[in-house]
Chains A and B, each alone.
Chain A
Amino acid sequence: MSTAAANPTAGRRRPASSRGLRAALLVVLALFLYALPLLNLPIISTPASDFRAVLFTVASYALVALGLNIVLGYAGLLDLGYVGFYAIGAYTVGVFGSLHGTLPFWLLIVLAVCISTASGLLLGAPTLRVRGDYLAIVTLGFGEIIRLVALNSEWLNGARGIQGVPRPPSVELFEVNPLTWDGFTAYVDLGETSVFMKFGLLDATPYYWLVLTVIILVLFGDVLLQRSRVGRAWEATREDEEAAELNGVPTFRFKLLAFAMGAFIGGLSGALFAARQGSINPEPFVIQLSMLFLAAVVIGGQGNRWGALVGAVVVAYLPERFREAAEFRVLIFGVALLLLANFRPQGLLPPRRAKRAKAASEQIAQLEEGAARG
């Protein structure tokens, strides 16, 4: 280890203070996001629809975008049927929690994740061996097939869907009152209360908190994976599959892994979606939803987890905030995508690879220190 330690590359060290600052900023941001449904801020809040419900939707999209970012952004696999995994997650919770069983909620989540991951492996195993275009077509078909099966299967209750999907068990600890604003003056709204954590029908806040927590956990996992052999293998495979293979990367295995991770996260967010809705039917799982997910990742900047999150906010939040323009939603999206493709083809937040390289060498410096001490 002395070779590396004795060989400090220029710019290896980002000052510890700046790293600390960054971490502190992220913590503040997270706290702010947790507080958002209570703060009900004037400009951010959505006047035309329930702000807390909007927040939940945005968070769901963000989680999905993180998952799709692994598949599309890291491994470079164009998955046009991501909604399929979302639907599988949602239906698993519905089927085994209400329609054909009464499993406890957390077990349902585990089951949903297992089934969607397994379906990802099943779908990926034959299709990831062929080149990119085929994958796009097959996944496109997959997404539609899942919806059509749900629509036509009696066992899945067809178009009627499933009612009484179990909610997460509530742990009622204390009540908080959200703020309400008169112009720019805040009042505590005594008419409304959020019970921490009561998963009920009306108040979406606890669901939002749950999804936000899941997002943070997934983010940690995402960072750890990307800054490891796994992330490098994905990136190399995306850059030049043949060169990667000839340099000892089992590309198929890593592509399948990315696909399965994507299915895992897609299924998870689908399951949480079903739990929040209380009832599901095949209708929302249309191909347009896949496209919207894809748009979130592409707009944000594929390959950048923060970009994917920003993209999800753009795709899910802006239309709710500007309801008055909702009629032109698709048109505006189209124009925005065109502009983006022309002026910023990498997305709003393209991956900053140079910075990452420095972080990697910094991390190894820490490892070396740790090894030297241990």
Chain B
Amino acid sequence: MAETTLSSTPAPAAGASPLLRMEKVTLRFGGVVALDDVSFEIQQGEILGLIGPNGAGKTTCFNALTGVYQPTSGQVVFDGLPLGRRKRYQINRMGIARTFQNIRLFQNMTARENVLVGADAHHRTGVLSALLRLPRHRREEAEGHRLADELLELMDLAHRADDLARNLSYGEQRRLEIARALATKPKLLCLDEPAAGFNPVEKQRLMDLIRTVRDRGNTVLLIEHDMRLVMGVTDRIVVLEFGKKIAEGRPEQIQNDPAVIAAYLGVEDDDA
């Protein structure tokens, strides 16, 4: 599982075109400004951390770039194309997949079926193909199962493939969410607090997993509260506070940034 633990070298950042650009994104709910003129870029192949105190707008940011919310102003450009008013499943097909802060699996489906649903994102089998068992159905089913087996193996869930998602342990459920997201073949994988509720050993394994995922060619956007995890695994970090971006840089720069210390450590004294 952990064969790539040592590859903590920064991603090929320089020169690569940005995979995703947040351009002056503002999001208002009534009088509340959840995101205020936020701009940042995610480079191809990097692991970008998104941190900030509770209520800073991290998850809102995720929601804006997966199509759950429409920005009030500004835009999100992915792979050279503005997301515009695309539907959520279309944005997923463009190559953005995500997990959820509070696990949202299909509880009464098996682990394998959960991943298959993700794999189906790029399938086109409809009623006719399914009813007549046309070649398309057979091909896509076989391909989907192959991908599901591979991803379950990668997430160390192969032995639980036929168990209902609801019967998996907490950590397994979190990994299954990642497997399901990966099955949609995303270019950008957004993880919303994937280590919440993990013990240190599990966190270490998760860090390895995230690196493995990156090494498979995915770009990763990571929301995480655990400072050690964020500092250990990310190439760059963006810090939000009250919906505004207050800092951006390499982990060691962020660690010493006075604004971040004031916002993050000065205001709250938990975490880290």
Chain A interface (Cβ within 8 Å of chain B)? 1, 3-4, 7, 9-12, 221, 224-225, 228-233, 235-236, 239-240, 242-251, 257, 261, 353-354, 357-358, 360-361, 363-364, 367-368, 370-371
Separation of A242 and B118 alpha carbons in the complex (Å) = 13
Q: B96-127: which have CB < 8 Å to A?
A: 97-98, 100, 104-110, 112-113, 116-118, 120-123, 125-127
A249:B87 contact, CB within 8 angstroms: no
- Can you name the residue of chain B whose Cβ is closest to the Cβ of A9? B161
Interface stretch among B47-55, B129-137, B202-210, B232-240?
B129-137
A-B contacts counted at CB < 8 A amount to 146
Separation of A9 and B138 alpha carbons in the complex (Å) = 20
CB distance from B85 to the nearest CB of A (A): 15
Q: B129-158: which have CB < 8 Å to A?
A: 129-131, 133, 137-138, 140-142, 144-146, 149-150, 153, 158
Q: Which residues of A contact B117 (CB under 8 A)?
A: 232-233, 236, 244, 247, 249
A7:B149 contact, CB within 8 angstroms: yes
A354:B162 contact, CB within 8 angstroms: yes
Separation of A251 and B90 alpha carbons in the complex (Å) = 11
- Can you name the residue of chain B whose Cβ is closest to the Cβ of A248? B121
Residues A361 and B126 in contact in the complex (CB < 8 Å), given A1-B142, A233-B120, A244-B106: no
Separation of A194 and B174 alpha carbons in the complex (Å) = 63
CB distance from A196 to the nearest CB of B (A): 30
Separation of A9 and B116 alpha carbons in the complex (Å) = 16
Excluding A7-B158, A236-B117, 16 further A-B contacts by CB distance (< 8 Å) are: A1-B142, A4-B149, A228-B130, A229-B123, A232-B109, A236-B109, A239-B106, A239-B109, A245-B92, A246-B97, A247-B117, A248-B121, A353-B109, A353-B164, A361-B161, A367-B145
Separation of A313 and B238 alpha carbons in the complex (Å) = 62
Residues A230 and B142 in contact in the complex (CB < 8 Å), given A248-B121, A353-B109: no
- Can you name the residue of chain A whose Cβ is closest to the Cβ of B126? A230
- Can you name the residue of chain B whose Cβ is closest to the Cβ of A225? B130
Q: B225 in the interface, Cβ–Cβ < 8 Å?
A: no
A1:B140 contact, CB within 8 angstroms: no
Q: Which residues of A contact B131 (CB under 8 A)?
A: 221, 224-225
Residues A228 and B125 in contact in the complex (CB < 8 Å), given A244-B106, A244-B117: yes
- Can you name the residue of chain A whose Cβ is closest to the Cβ of B125? A229
Selected contact of B108 from candidates A7, A239, A249, A358, CB within 8 Å: A239
A3:B146 contact, CB within 8 angstroms: yes
Q: Which residues of A contact B150 (CB under 8 A)?
A: 3
A232:B104 contact, CB within 8 angstroms: no
CB distance from B155 to the nearest CB of A (A): 14
CB distance from B110 to the nearest CB of A (A): 4
Q: B22 in the interface, Cβ–Cβ < 8 Å?
A: no
- Can you name the residue of chain A whose Cβ is closest to the Cβ of B100? A243
B118:A1 contact, CB within 8 angstroms: no
Separation of A1 and B181 alpha carbons in the complex (Å) = 22
Residues A247 and B140 in contact in the complex (CB < 8 Å), given A224-B130, A240-B106: no
B104:A367 contact, CB within 8 angstroms: no
